Structure 1
Amino acid sequence: MRGTAIGRSLAAVVAVTAALAITPPDVARAVDARCTSQPQPSPVVADVPWPQEAYDLEARVWPFATGLGVTVAVLDTGVDPTHPQLAGRVLPGADVVGGTGSGDYDCVGHGTALASIVVAGRVPGIGFTGLAPDARVLPVRVATQAQTAVAGDVDPAAVAAGLDAAVAAGAQVALVGVVTAADPGLAAAVERAQAAGVLVVAPAGDAHAPQRDGAGPTDPALIPFPAAYPGVLGVAAVDSGGQRVDGSQAGGYVDLAGPGGDVLAAGIGGQTVAQGTGPAAAFVAAAAALVLSAAPAALTAATPADRAVELAGRLTATASAGGSSRLVLGAGLLDPARAVTEPVPGGVPSPVAGPTPPPADPAAEALAARQAGTRATATAVAATLGGLVVAVLAAAWALPRMRRRGWRAGRERAAQTRGAEEPGEFLPGEALFTPGPPHR
């Protein structure tokens, strides 16, 4: 991003309204034999969507990384490999819930949309492109319907089996596009994936009640899994102005925020408007693929598990500061350009430093020293003159009194006071300013 560019308002470039849609030519599209039905073909949108504008991919990201050589598993409703922007980018994968063997079909379109945010390629006349277009997607079908709330019917055992399938197939990043409930088997599968060096990314959920806005975290009964497991990157959703999307959950499981408000993605045949923490998690998974392809050797941890932690740390440490609490946006707003390009001594990026003071000017320092010396001299002179003024004023007050009383009588009285055996002594003027011995 440009600084915190995603936090800027980019509503002017949002291109997902019906007025901007171009209806594709009539194309006979057969329903996949493994589906009882599929959504109708969606329109094609020619304009560049706002996340691409915000991230300035052409100038700030793709010259350094495109995801080449990285496999991202998408655990969702499957992926349609026949979409023009996904051709050649989708592996066979696995079908955990349908028993068909491979996950390269999608009866709903949700998994296809998430996969496209990661790897969609360039097609003439279409502005939308995936964040990591040279990566590959491993589709793992773990659900028959899109589901990003705990109240849904996604089986945690299916998600656990999907993670095991992703690890076995060699995925480096696992995007879990659905939300499910806590389950010991799922927790164990997450740990196995992490031990193998796979970064698990998951949505923070879309069930935050509007009446709880400003009242702290989302209802604890709605804690999303696997996002809430240790080491999993839980992702919240923001709009083009950097504000939390309605429904995006808030809690300690939010690690990062990504684009999730009116984002463009691949639909059945054309494009669709995606909303929520699922698409936001797809952006984060794609950014992880970019980092892995840019400099895999930069992840220097000794074990695969530690390298996955290091990768997650890079994504959160390079996030741009958001305007909401950590419960809402986690570490901040995803910044792919900084994640890919910033030097990372010791494996974790340093926080953005404040402005560096300008180097010292020798001439200015010499002038300051002279001015300091002049001030010190002036202070000493002022102190001396002040002492003389006090002495003169004291003399002016004392002399008339001495004349009125007579100098000799004054001395005699002084002698009588000290004692007859101690004759008075003459004190020269300078002795008046010389401190005498201490009192005994």
Structure 2
Amino acid sequence: MIRNAPVTAGLMSLLLLLSGCGGGGSGGGAENPPDVAGVIDIESGTRVDSDTADDFRLDQSVDNGSPGSAQALPSGATVGGYLSFIEGTYDTGTPDQFDFVTDTADFFVTELSPGDRVAVQMFLSPDQRLPLPDRTLRILKQEGGDLVPKYSDTASDTLRALMVTLPADAETGSYLIEVSTAGGIPFRYVLTLADQASPSVMNTSYTDPAFMVDEAILSFDADPGSVAMAAAMAVSERRNLGRGAWLMRRDSARNLATMSARQVEDAREDTLDWIRELREQPGVAAAEPNYLYTSQQVAPDDDPLYDRQWNLPLTRAPMAWQAAPDAGLGIGIAVFDTGVFRSPPTTGGAWHPDLDENVRLISGEIMDYVSGDLDIDQEPGRDTNPADPGDGKTRSSNFHGTHVAGVAAAVDNVQGIVGMASGASIYPVRVLGRDGVGSSADLIAAVNWAAGRSEIDVINLSLGGLGPSNALKSAIDAAWAGGNGQLIVAAAGNQGTDEPTYPAAYPNVIGVGAVDGAGKRASYSNVGESVDVVAPGGDASRDANQDGTADVIVSTWGRDDSGSFEPGYAGLQGTSMAAPHVAGVYALMKGESTITPGEFRSLLRSGALTEEVGPAFEYGAGLINALAAMDAALDGNFPITLGASPSALQFNSAVLSAELEFSAYPEGEPITIIQVTAGAEWLNLGERPADLSQSLVVSVDTSGLENNKRYTTELEIEYDPQNGEAGTLTVPVSLRLGTSADERDAGRHYVLLVSADDNRDTIEQVVASASGGQYRFAFDQVEPGEYFLVAGTDIDNNGLICENGEACAEYPVNGLPEKIVIGDQPLSGVRLSTSFRRPTIAAMGLPRIGFEGYRLKSDGEKEQDNVPIRRLENDR
């Protein structure tokens, strides 16, 4: 909550300023050194908005609110900033008063090239509420005497990131970047600049995936002995998920529905502690949370049934059906989802009339895997009936699986709609339960089951989450079977970022992003590693095809708000809707050919199945084209292509060498690398690999190159498959020699010694400013004991540091703080690193949950009045 009030500069008085170099410390020289002293390094390319709320408080802001006062940024910069349409006071729940000020626009100037992307992520303070701020990202260029807006993105009712990618025909040169707000509450933002060779750069917040309390998924070192090992563990419940993976549930009577929010967070932290202990037990190869996955639709549309399905002509489906007259007959599409509409949902009920003819069950086989608290049907536990039970609420339920199944394979029966592969068989597999949520344990078990079923040719996973599961990856790899098993298609996610979403980001999954009616990326659709191809997913905020209606995907649905189950139709948007288009296209191809999943992926990589609609980072291989796919399948000439890992090379002053590893698509095909050509003289190549088991060493010669400048080129790799036609693989390469250290600035840093108990009180606090690309700090007269050493910005002046969207440094590694011990002897030479980025779950080992930063002390505040904001869980 925010209390509106006039801003009075200086209400929060300047915290204890450090003297010495860069605000370094009050140490008394060699004879009287400080108790704790050290250096905080700043990540290369880091900058801070020059007029943050913290700057306003100290009357030290430098205006960048107009084109003429634009702040210069280097290529590849990461910038922390602050904007607010209003002024007032935060309601922090403490005696201290923290104010925010009006700042409606920030301008930056930088060099941009085709393929470069500009993204802005927004973060709110924990106490803030609606209305969400209206915000705009604009890219402008000087043309003649005028500043001309070239590209833009806007948002108001969601927290999604704003993103612009410069098209291939964009002019290289100097551009203005404007980030602005036109209403709503104050917010922090992180602006990131990246070129086409850059990997994921939008990891500016801690990923906090949901998972089941008191449950863990384990794998054991010795698979033949895993049954005995699992049986020997002291747990209340154990379930074999297949292929060496086990679900373990410990004895606990905790009922989350009756617990407070803080109690739930404590239970989650306690579960992670237990998983850490499991990892240390003999014979345990891996232990991970039982992550939750959710359906990837955005929102239903309540309008009447549209009289046309724009998604089908956009993908050239009507023409493709002429080449596939059986429309996928005999091909099995397993829809792993909420189940499929059945009236009544009990065994024996009638399926949705637009799906009934194609729905198939396998006699005696479990096809409803939802278990535990997530299972709300009338047949508790795993069973043979994959009907969607609804949600038991007075409003109409979310019949997500029914909608997905219709997109893939609704029957062509002169009523309702037509699916992409209207002759294919639908195998509904229920893995999502209450509120469209499912656990990785249930999903793993279902995938392991499906991997052994010859009836199933393609698995559609219109679900996702941010928790990577090794056990799920192993199950998917088993289903993929080296490219000769089942095609796995998954939704790329609706977060609008380049952070990997699973299962779409796994190597043996085809991740599908979403486009609108004009083939443009939907505003919510993820980009980057999770996207291999795009398909119609809809965007209710647009009418891009100008047909007079919002671009949503119409498909089969159901209603249960009247107490009875009635079939119907609805329009949805999401990458959930995009994925079954691709599953349906594969079914069309498979129905007319002997194509394998590996051959499909090879065709996809070669561009034979798609229409090019934009840069690969946003659109993968392009927009799926069913007609082109049928031509490729009937031609029978499946290309053998070469792939490289990483797919792009990025060098800087610290990284001047890398290795490229190669692989064949389909797997196992022999390929000879004929020639490797560097596109620039500064790129040096090692010995050409004799076969794909060898890597290629690529290095950079910086002699004669200018500092503070970006260089880009391409690496061309000519190859000749033994059983196919020769081709060329292009690998983008970028080199950024970096800015000089003293230009790096992550903003004024508050350096804290925090108590090592559960309260995490701030005991000591000093302030440091950047100098020479570093911050120097020192503490005097510190009571001996154990502390956490942390530092960070407070750019929105809400009294918290290290929130998402703030620069943060924790000793020794951000995300994995460890205690320091202060005793009789001075502790010097302590080194930390600060950044607006955050480590991934893979880097931290387990997710960081519930963390909202560290509370600052204002001048005169008593230690006992300090209110901790959250307890850290990763302090071991």
Q: Is the shorter-chain TM-score for this pair beyond 0.5, marking a shared fold?
A: yes
1:300-339 aligned within 5 A: 307-316=596-605, 317-339=607-629
Is the Cα–Cα contact under 8 Å of residues 354 and 415 in structure 2 kept in the other structure?
no
Q: Which amino acid aligns with 1:204?
A: A
Q: CA deviation at 1:100?
A: 4.4
Change (3 A) 1:47 1:154: same
Is the Cα–Cα contact under 8 Å of residues 611 and 625 in structure 2 kept in the other structure?
no
Q: Which amino acid aligns with 2:571?
A: V
Is the Cα–Cα contact under 8 Å of residues 154 and 179 in structure 1 kept in the other structure?
no
Residue 431 of structure 2 corresponds to 142
Alignment partner of 2:587: what SS? helix
Alignment partner of 2:514: what SS? strand
Provide the rounded CA distance (Å) in 1 between the counterparts of 2:508 and 2:336: 17
1:110 aligns with 2:400: yes
Q: CA deviation at 1:45?
A: 2.5
1:192 aligns with 2:478: yes
Cα deviation, 1:182-221, whole Å, max 9, x if unaligned, reads 111101101110116111000110011xxxxxxxxx253x
1:33-432 aligned within 5 A: 45=305, 47-65=307-325, 66-81=327-342, 82-92=351-361, 94-97=367-370, 98=375, 99-106=381-388, 107=390, 108-126=398-416, 128-145=417-434, 154-170=438-454, 171-180=456-465, 181-195=467-481, 197-208=485-496, 218-220=497-499, 223-261=500-538, 262-268=552-558, 269-296=567-594, 299=595, 307-316=596-605, 317-342=607-632, 344=635, 346-348=637-639
Q: CA deviation at 1:336?
A: 0.8
The number of residues matched between the two structures is 285
Cα deviation, 1:366-425, whole Å, max 9, x if unaligned, reads xxxxxxxxxxxxxxxxxxxxxxxxxxxxxxxxxxxxxxxxxxxxxxxxxxxxxxxxxxxx
Is the Cα–Cα contact under 8 Å of residues 89 and 135 in structure 1 kept in the other structure?
yes
Q: CA deviation at 1:116?
A: 0.7
Provide the rounded CA distance (Å) in 2 between the counterparts of 1:186 and 1:320: 29
TM-score w.r.t. the length of structure 2 is 0.31
Q: Which amino acid aligns with 2:587?
A: A
Change (3 A) 1:134 1:321: closer
- Alpha-carbon RMSD across the aligned residues, in angstroms, is 2.5
Q: Which amino acid aligns with 1:75?
A: F
Is the Cα–Cα contact under 8 Å of residues 203 and 236 in structure 1 kept in the other structure?
yes
Q: CA deviation at 1:118?
A: 1.1
Q: CA deviation at 1:79?
A: 1.2
Is the Cα–Cα contact under 8 Å of residues 242 and 322 in structure 1 kept in the other structure?
no
Bigger radius of gyration among the two: 1
Alignment partner of 2:528: what SS? coil
Cα deviation, 1:24-46, whole Å, max 9, x if unaligned, reads xxxxxxxxxxxxxxxx9x88626
Provide the rounded CA distance (Å) in 2 between the counterparts of 1:349 and 1:117: 30
Change (3 A) 1:295 1:240: same
Q: CA deviation at 1:103?
A: 4.5
Residue 436 of structure 1 corresponds to none
Residue 346 of structure 2 corresponds to none
Provide the rounded CA distance (Å) in 2 between the counterparts of 1:121 and 1:341: 23
Change (3 A) 1:87 1:337: same
Alignment partner of 2:313: what SS? helix
Provide the rounded CA distance (Å) in 1 between the counterparts of 2:636 and 2:405: 32
Is the Cα–Cα contact under 8 Å of residues 43 and 271 in structure 1 kept in the other structure?
no
Is the Cα–Cα contact under 8 Å of residues 110 and 146 in structure 1 kept in the other structure?
no
Is the Cα–Cα contact under 8 Å of residues 357 and 411 in structure 2 kept in the other structure?
no
Change (3 A) 1:266 1:219: same
Is the Cα–Cα contact under 8 Å of residues 489 and 510 in structure 2 kept in the other structure?
yes
Q: Which amino acid aligns with 1:70?
A: I
Provide the rounded CA distance (Å) in 2 between the counterparts of 1:264 and 1:176: 19
Alignment partner of 2:451: what SS? helix
Provide the rounded CA distance (Å) in 2 between the counterparts of 1:197 and 1:125: 34
Change (3 A) 1:57 1:253: closer
Q: CA deviation at 1:58?
A: 3.7
Provide the rounded CA distance (Å) in 2 between the counterparts of 1:345 and 1:293: 13
Change (3 A) 1:130 1:146: farther
Is the Cα–Cα contact under 8 Å of residues 533 and 624 in structure 2 kept in the other structure?
yes
Change (3 A) 1:146 1:176: farther
Report sequence identity in percent: 30
Residue 52 of structure 2 corresponds to none
Residue 169 of structure 2 corresponds to none
Change (3 A) 1:176 1:125: closer
Provide the rounded CA distance (Å) in 1 between the counterparts of 2:623 and 2:461: 19
Runs of 5+ consecutive residues of structure 1 not aligned to the other structure: 1-39, 148-152, 209-217, 300-306, 351-440
Alignment partner of 1:72: what SS? strand
Q: Which amino acid aligns with 2:475?
A: A
Provide the rounded CA distance (Å) in 2 between the counterparts of 1:145 and 1:179: 15
Change (3 A) 1:102 1:312: farther
Cα deviation, 1:253-296, whole Å, max 9, x if unaligned, reads 21000000011110111211121111100100011111100112
Is the Cα–Cα contact under 8 Å of residues 103 and 139 in structure 1 kept in the other structure?
no
Change (3 A) 1:186 1:103: farther
Q: CA deviation at 1:344?
A: 4.5
Change (3 A) 1:159 1:349: same
Provide the rounded CA distance (Å) in 2 between the counterparts of 1:67 and 1:103: 24
Provide the rounded CA distance (Å) in 1 between the counterparts of 2:525 and 2:613: 15
Change (3 A) 1:206 1:46: closer
Q: CA deviation at 1:320?
A: 3.3
Q: Which amino acid aligns with 2:408?
A: V
Is the Cα–Cα contact under 8 Å of residues 407 and 420 in structure 2 kept in the other structure?
yes
Q: CA deviation at 1:346?
A: 4.4
Change (3 A) 1:247 1:57: closer
The structure richer in helix per residue is 1
Is the Cα–Cα contact under 8 Å of residues 288 and 315 in structure 1 kept in the other structure?
no
Provide the rounded CA distance (Å) in 2 between the counterparts of 1:204 and 1:55: 18
Is the Cα–Cα contact under 8 Å of residues 76 and 146 in structure 1 kept in the other structure?
no
Which stretch of structure 1 is more off in the superposition, 196-205 or 236-245?
196-205
Change (3 A) 1:132 1:164: same
Alignment partner of 1:84: what SS? coil
1:8-19 aligned within 5 A: none
Provide the rounded CA distance (Å) in 2 between the counterparts of 1:242 and 1:275: 14
